[in-house]
Amino acid sequence: MSSPSPPTPAGKASTSTSPSTTKAKDAAGEVQPVGTLQSSQAHTLRFAHPALLASLFLARFGSLVADPVAEMQAALPIVWVLQAAYAVVCLPAAGSQGAAARKPKARPGEKRRPGAADGAGPNISVTTLVASVLSVISAVALHVALVLFGAPFLTHLPHTFLCALHLALLGLFPLFYTRGVASAEWLEIMGARAPFDEAFGGMVGACVGAWVGAVPIPLDWDREWQKWPVTILCGIYAGYLVGKLVGGTVAFGKRFGGSS
């Protein structure tokens, strides 16, 4: 006859949580970095994209100085095409990782029915369109932010808004494409708590570049390229390219303050 097990002491729980389970729960609430897609096309365009943007900007810099409004307006469709191509080829669309995790695995020898689960992922065309619309809408808020940071309030309105549109296409479009409108992720992004990846690093770099680009404007050099917003746009493009590179390589997965 087996002896009864000793009673559980009063005030103590009969179940326990392992450290590994606790760690998994803690990590579940954090926004994770978004890596680039693993394909030969993505690998090629990932490195060609910065070169194309830089070449476009340098080739049209003279026109930008001569007529900033006309040049920024003419360059917008080209920049949008480059950003859309980069996002579609190199970045996972918002919701694609969750859809891949929910996709049922086929059993050995089982043939998957066409369209059974393949259509569960996000629609790339719709995601690109939504990201584009949200970027244009966000340009209004960026215009206000530029004014608050010293842009002309009553004059140069088209200059400032077109500059804000370029900033939105570079810094925000990839984030809208990969993150969608998830509130938890955008709270971390706007609070500078999100982990670095190419999209978030590009946004940080573009914003810092815009701020640094304002430095030459008040200097008494009397140069044509100092007029609003030429140096701001230079800083946006240079900062975006540097931030995108750093965010996708040495700083990938890291957060402000050094935590990872």
In a domain, 26, yes or no: no
Give the domain extent around 233. Answer: 37-94+120-248
In a domain, 220, yes or no: yes
The number of domains in the chain is 1
Sequence-separated (6 or more) residues with CB below 8 Å from residue 173? 80, 83, 84, 87, 131, 132, 135
* pLDDT one-digit tens code per residue, 206-250: 999 999 999 999 998 989 999 999 999 999 999 999 999 999 999
* pLDDT one-digit tens code per residue, 73-103: 999 999 999 999 999 999 999 988 655 444 5
In a domain, 199, yes or no: yes
In a domain, 20, yes or no: no
**Nearest-angstrom CA–CA distance, 134 and 153:** 24
Closest CA to 29 of 187, 140, 249, 227: 187
In a domain, 59, yes or no: yes
Find out whether 223 and 191 touch, Cβ atoms under 8 Å. Answer: no
In a domain, 12, yes or no: no
CB burial class (10 A; 0-12, 13-18, 19+) of residue 138?
buried
* pLDDT one-digit tens code per residue, 22-68: 333 334 467 899 999 999 999 999 999 999 999 999 999 999 999 99
In a domain, 127, yes or no: yes
pLDDT at 114: 42
**Token pair of 51 as six digits:** 């070169």
pLDDT at 105: 52
In a domain, 113, yes or no: no
**Token pair of 228 as six digits:** 């609003």
Find out whether 103 and 117 touch, Cβ atoms under 8 Å. Answer: yes
Find out whether 83 and 170 touch, Cβ atoms under 8 Å. Answer: yes
Q: What is the pTM assigned to this prediction?
A: 0.81
Query: Identity (one letter) of the amino acid at 201?
Result: G
